[in-house]
Amino acid sequence: MTDRNADIAAFVRTVPDYPRPGVLFRDLTPLIAEGRAFRLTIDRLAEMLGDVPFDRIAAVEARGFIFAAALAYRMGVGTVILRKPGKLPPIVHAIDYALEYGTDRLEMRADACAAGDRVVLIDDLIATGGTALAAVSLLRRLGAEVAAAAFVIDLPALGGSAALTEAGVGVRSLLTA
């Protein structure tokens, strides 16, 4: 990880060979468990997004909810939640997307955002970008403008941040690993 935000990085645990051999899992639960580190993370996400005008924060299930809810409170904006299938009452919009090991689906309430809403997508980590790109597509389908995407950690070698940039979404992160 980089020296930038080293105080936050100290609370990110790297777990080798999880959930399968060859994967370095970035565990943010120690960061979330330490109140001061979590507060610093939320404050720095807010500072990082200070120049981005937006009306709502969109969060991807599940760890994204933790960071997005705290950040939305800090910024005084509402939260749009993107969930796995069957977790939201109808009427929902959904998108199926590919993962490196299969497919998945995201759903969002049909009235979660409106045409013209400026939305910042928040998640804990950006890796290959499949979920984030699906979230962007779903938000745009409802007419929202995705003003930026922000993450605690970016794993640029896996290509997700580049894919988001190519899709026209500015990417920001506190840590790079």
Helix axes 35-48, 63-75, angle to 10 degrees: 70
* 13 part of the active site: no
Q: Which of 169, 172, 168 is nearest to 156 (CA)?
A: 172
Residues 95 and 105 sit within 8 Å (Cβ to Cβ): yes
* 63 part of the active site: yes
Chain CA centroid to CA 109, Å: 18
Residues 27 and 14 sit within 8 Å (Cβ to Cβ): yes
- Tokens at residue 30, please? 């120690």
Residues 38 and 70 sit within 8 Å (Cβ to Cβ): yes
Backbone angles phi, psi at 146, to 5 degrees: -85, 100
Of 44, 63, 109, 118, which residue is the catalytic one? 63
What are the catalytic residues?
Answer: 63, 100
